[in-house]
Every structure is written in C-alpha cells, then in structure tokens.
C-alpha cells in the first residue's frame, strides 16, 4: 500500500524541520517536557495569501514572516521561544517549488531563533493558501510583560522604526519607490525583538508588539492600563526611507502610524528607568526611542506636533472586517 | 478612537470562551503554568469549508467537530486536555449568525470536555472559511501511547464502530438514506475517546486515532511498529446503520474501511491483555472490538473474510492531494 501524496509532502518538506519531541511528525501529537519551573507563553497567528502576503512574495519570506510575527508576540511578553505547530491549507494543484521555498525559509529562521516544529497538519483548500502557526515560549513565572501594568505619567517607548512595513506593502504594489528594496524587506521580513523583550522584564510596566499600526496598538495598551496616550510626532523613529517618503508626503505621518506590519515593541516605563532602558537596549543592539507618555483619563491616543498642536490620526489602524 | 470590527467580533464570540490564562484574549499571548511533573502533548488540525465540513452543516457542529478531532488526537496519546488556541479565517462578509453558532458549539464542548480557549487570531480571507486549532494536553512523563510500540503477534483493537463517518458524509450529500440522521451525526460530531485512551496507558503497546480510514491508518501503525496487519472482515464493528447499508452493498466493506472521519481509537495489545482491556473499556462505557492481529514482515494491511481469503481494499484511504 503506497502512501498518499500528502504524506510524501510532509516527509519531504516538514520532517527535516522537526523537533525531537515531534516524534518525527509520525504520531497523533508531539510530546514536550516544559522547562521545569517556567511559565508557558502561547500565541497563534494566521496568514492568508493576498491578505498577509502576496502571491509573488518569495516563499522563503512567507515562512519566515509567519514564524516571525509569532516570535514577535513572544518578544512582547519577554519570553524565550520553545517550539511551534503549523497548519497549512494548500490548493490541490499547489506549486512544489513554492512549498520547498516556504519550508527552506522556516529552516533558516529555526536556526536563527533556536526553535523547531513540533507538529501540525496539511490540508487542501479551494481558496488561497491559508497558514496558521501556534508558538510556545517560556518565562519565569509571574514575570511576563503584559499590556495592563502601565500608569499615567510613565514614558512610552518603541523599538526600531515605525511605518516601514506599511510603506513596504505599497512598495511591493509599485505605489512607493523603494531603492534597494529596503521597505519591501521590512514588510516581508519583520525583526522580532526577542532580546529586547527579555531585557525589559522587570523594567517595562507594559509591553506589546506593534502589528496593526502604532496608534491602534497604543490604544489597546491604554485601554488595558486604563489611561490615555500622547505621541510626539517628531519623536517617532523613522528609517531613512520612511523619512524620505515623508518629505514628499508632508501630511503622511498618520499613515505611517496606522499602517501596520511594524512588529516593533511598544512599551511603557517610569521616567526614572530611562537610563537603564537605554543601556539594556544598547546591549541588545536594538534602537529604542521615547515617543510620548501616558496621561490620566480615557484611553484615547493623541498625536501632537513639536508646538503641542494635535495632528488628526484619521483611521486608527488595520482591520480585517 | 473606536475599535475596528474584528475586536468587536472577538469580544462578542470568543472572549466568553477564554481560559483565565488567556488574559481575557487582550494580550499578545496567553500564560499557562503546566501541571507540575507532567509531559505536554500537542497537536494541531485544520479544517476548511467544503473539504472538512459543508457550508450548510449546522455551525454548532463545525466548532465541535474541530475541537473533537483535536481531542481525538489527545485521546490517541492517552492524554487529558488542558486548553486550545484557535485561528479563524473568515470571508469579509461573514455571517454573524454562523459565527455565533460556531462559538456556541465550542462553548458546549468546552463544558463537556473541561477545557477553554487560550488564544488565537481572527483574519479575513477571500476563500472558504479556514479554521486551525492547536490543542494542549498532558500525560505522566514517558507514558504517552505512541504508534511505534506494537509487535507481531499482538492483537488489534478498535473502539466504537467503523465507517459511519464516511457514510454520514454521503448521507449529507443525499447519496445514502439515513433514517434519524444517525450517520450524518457521526460525520458531524465525532466522539473523542478520551476516557478509553487514558485507560489504555500502560496496557496498549501502540495507539492512534482513525481519521483517514481504518486501512490507511493501520498502515501507519504498522510502519511505525515495523510489522504487518491483518484485519478480519467479520470482526470490524459496524453500527446498525452501516450494517444495513452493507447488506444492500455486499462489496462495500472496503469503502467503510478506507473512508475516513471515524475518530475511533485503533490500538494494539498482547493477547494476554484482552480481559483487562475489555474490563477497562467497559468501565469507560466505550465498546471495543478485537479486529485482527499483527504479523511479521512488511507493513502491509490485509483484509480477510471468515474463510481466510483476502478481500481487496482498493484505495488505502483519504488523501488531500
């Protein structure tokens, strides 16, 4: 009795990625002995073709983006990665070269971030490629960074630069010039801030990753922490490419703050922690910028220019529906 | 700043299902303290509209089937459920009543099986509804039932009845008569054999759940355990409905053994364990039947009639590709 094609597919593309606990992806489930005395951190993200990635994106970056958006959730909690499970829904006439590239991207990032696949499922679909990844990480019990620990008066910080992912999507669609494909690369290959997240444990009072636009995500942090947020327009860190785009789109800042796909860390900390934050971020090799502060009151997010005048944000951020 | 519609969707349909460790589904990830001294068991299954369920299936059963197929994987490992993460890809113009029904089904089965949602993601798709569920369970370290521990000479057993799921799909398509909707119910609402799986720990030498057809799944067990399998045609347990169908389709047994969607437990045990297996199964309220045995040699699966003559199986089982 020969095996049906999906087992050949799993054998060829996913078995080489398996963690020892995955039992060679040949059993009903994987086994994992959690690190003793640690708390587990669990997140799941889905990605759909032509919603989260483009059909002509290099397949290597699709696998890596899927893994990295989940790693970014671990980073936001201050967690270290343990492993992941993956489900893949593919058209029946799927392109084997695409799948090989997708798996090669996962293999690359498994090495870079030190985790492996624990299990999953491969099924057919009549629609676009549909991917789902569940990630497991761990923290010392009770130390996970959450969204609800910040308070009015504290500073707001963000890592890296904001707006590149949104511009990168436009660049991939030919709507924004992108010399050297820097912006496209930021859209296709986010950089999970794992080292920074772990360095912020015990220092940041709240943290989250910016995936749906800085303004909207800050709104979530404000709601969870029961305060308002004020962003200083000229403190938001921009890449050279985004700064250049902004010079030709003088009213474009709100677009950069509501566009999504940044996968930077947004966090809050008391003003007195600023020097230590700068020191630890430097040790991680990750740039951080103080972009505003939290105020008492409703969980509204306000953007202010250098003179203190409010800049309207328009839409809040990305929504699927 | 108002929240975009997907947060309203999560708030309305999924937040009531959340485990305390899910942090109210309002953070980047969930926190879970694993039961001390236990090994984790992890599985993920995907379901796609019109591949794994039909557009006009009651939405309650879709959510329950998704959860139950994953619970069946835990059952096959002898594990107890802990919690789950869920990703849902929905068309932009999704039907709110469908989603409410889907969530109500999950709520029902959360109560029945004692677990809750830990996290997930809700995204849009241009294709069919696409679901993915990752389940976590636990076992005493080193005791999980696996596929690779059986040996030639041992008996093969199966729980419940075989072939109802495949006939149920045909009944849903109007191809098979189904008085009382018994077969459709077996297709839409599998019964994960959790109590039996846990009762078999230390007794069964190998186990798995039957999801892609008994013949094909037995082939997996045989390959993992490096032996062949012989099924006795007249020992395969059939429901009254399947037996009735078989009377009007005298050559139909192979169809019942290769059709998929059974979600029964297939397991192996030494002949000397038979009485204890019967005793424990009885205590669980789950019927079990001895359906054959394992033989030395290649991992081939042979079906034999009462006189010992081979019945050709035709195709081995369900394949997506």
Separation CA A21–CA A30 (nearest Å): 6
A39: alpha, beta or left? (left if phi > 0; alpha if psi -120 to 50): beta
Q: A120-163 pLDDT, tens per residue?
A: 999 999 999 999 999 999 999 999 999 999 999 999 999 999 99
Vertex B216 angle, CA B313 and A23, to 5° = 160
Tell which CATH architecture fits domain A5-139. 2-Layer Sandwich (3.30)
B212 labeled binding residue? yes
- CA trace torsion B97, B103, B109, B111 (10° rounding): -110
Where are the domains positioned within chain A? 5-139, 155-311
B128 → closest Cβ in A50, A125, A300: A125
φ, ψ of residue A96 to 5 degrees: the values are: -60, -35
Separation CA B139–CA B114 (nearest Å): 16
Q: Are A193 and A254 in contact (CB under 8 A)?
A: no
Of all residues in chain A, the percent with pLDDT exceeding 70 is: 96
Q: A34-85 pLDDT, tens per residue?
A: 999 999 999 999 999 998 888 999 999 999 999 999 999 999 999 999 999 9
Sign (positive/negative) of CA torsion B114, B279, B72, A135? positive
Which has the closest alpha carbon to A159: A119, A195, A130, A125? A195
A100 pLDDT above the threshold of 60: yes
- The CATH number of A155-311 is 3.90.650.10
Q: What is the pLDDT of residue B28?
A: 87
Q: Are A63 and A109 in contact (CB under 8 A)?
A: yes
A319 pLDDT above the threshold of 80: no
Contact B43 A86 (CB under 8 A): no
CA distances to A77, A115, A139, B214 from A39, rounded to whole Å, are 11, 17, 5, 39
Q: A284-297 pLDDT, tens per residue?
A: 999 999 999 999 99
Q: What is the pLDDT of residue B1?
A: 41
A148 labeled binding residue? no
Most confident of A30-34, A36-40, A265-269: A265-269
A120 strand-pairing partners: A86
Residues of B in contact with A301 (CB under 8 A): 1
B154: alpha, beta or left? (left if phi > 0; alpha if psi -120 to 50): beta
Contact A31 B219 (CB under 8 A): no
Contact B31 A40 (CB under 8 A): yes
Separation CA B181–CA B11 (nearest Å): 34
Q: What is the pLDDT of residue B319?
A: 61
Q: How many CB atoms lie within 10 A of CB B275?
A: 8
Residues of A in contact with B28 (CB under 8 A): 43, 72-73, 76-77, 147, 208-209
A48 → closest Cβ in B45, B89, B139: B89
Taking residues A304-315, what's their average pLDDT? 90
The residue ranges of DSSP E strands in chain A, in sequence order, are 30-32, 39-48, 80-91, 117-125, 130-139, 155-159, 206-210, 228-232, 264-269, 288-295, 301-304, 310-311
CATH pick for B155-304 out of 3.90.650.10, 2.30.30.190, 3.40.50.360, 1.10.10.60? 3.90.650.10
B106: alpha, beta or left? (left if phi > 0; alpha if psi -120 to 50): alpha
What is the pLDDT of chain A when averaged over all its residues?
A: 93
Q: A182-196 pLDDT, tens per residue?
A: 999 999 999 999 999
Q: What is the pLDDT of residue B8?
A: 80
Residues 6+ apart with CB under 8 A from A128: A48, A49, A50, A51, B125, B126, B127
B87 in reach of chain A (CB within 8 A): yes
């Amino acid at each position: 009795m020969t095996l049906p094609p999906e087992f050949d597919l799993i054998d060829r593309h996913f078995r080489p990625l398996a963690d020892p606990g995955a039992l060679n992806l040949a059993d009903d489930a994987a086994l994992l002995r959690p690190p003793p005395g640690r708390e587990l951190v669990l997140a799941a993200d889905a990605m759909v073709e032509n919603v989260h990635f483009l059909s002509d994106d290099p397949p290597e970056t699709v696998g890596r983006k899927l893994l990295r958006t989940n790693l970014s959730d671990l980073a936001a909690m201050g967690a270290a990665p343990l492993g992941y499970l993956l489900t893949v829904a593919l058209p029946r006439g799927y392109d084997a070269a695409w799948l090989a590239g997708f798996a090669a991207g996962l293999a690359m990032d498994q090495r870079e971030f030190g985790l492996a696949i624990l299990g999953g499922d491969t099924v057919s679909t009549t629609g676009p490629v549909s991917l789902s990844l569940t990630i497991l990480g761990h923290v010392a019990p009770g130390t996970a960074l959450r969204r609800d620990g910040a308070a009015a008066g504290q500073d707001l910080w963000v890592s890296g630069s904001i707006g590149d992912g949104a511009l990168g999507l436009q660049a991939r669609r030919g709507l924004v010039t992108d010399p050297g494909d820097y912006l496209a690369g930021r859209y296709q290959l986010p950089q999970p801030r794992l080292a920074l997240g772990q360095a912020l444990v015990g220092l940041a009072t709240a943290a989250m990753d910016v995936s749906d636009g800085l303004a909207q995500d800050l709104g979530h942090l404000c709601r969870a922490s029961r305060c308002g947020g004020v962003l200083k327009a000229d403190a938001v860190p921009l890449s050279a490419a985004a700064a250049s785009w902004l010079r030709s789109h003088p009213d474009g800042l709100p677009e950069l703050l509501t566009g999504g796909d940044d996968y930077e860390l947004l966090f809050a900390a008391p003003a007195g922690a600023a020097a230590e934050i700068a020191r630890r971020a430097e040790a991680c090799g990750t740039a951080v910028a103080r972009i505003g502060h939290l105020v008492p009151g409703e969980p509204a997010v306000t953007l202010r220019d250098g003179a203190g005048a409010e800049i309207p944000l328009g839409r809040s951020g990305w929504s699927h529906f």
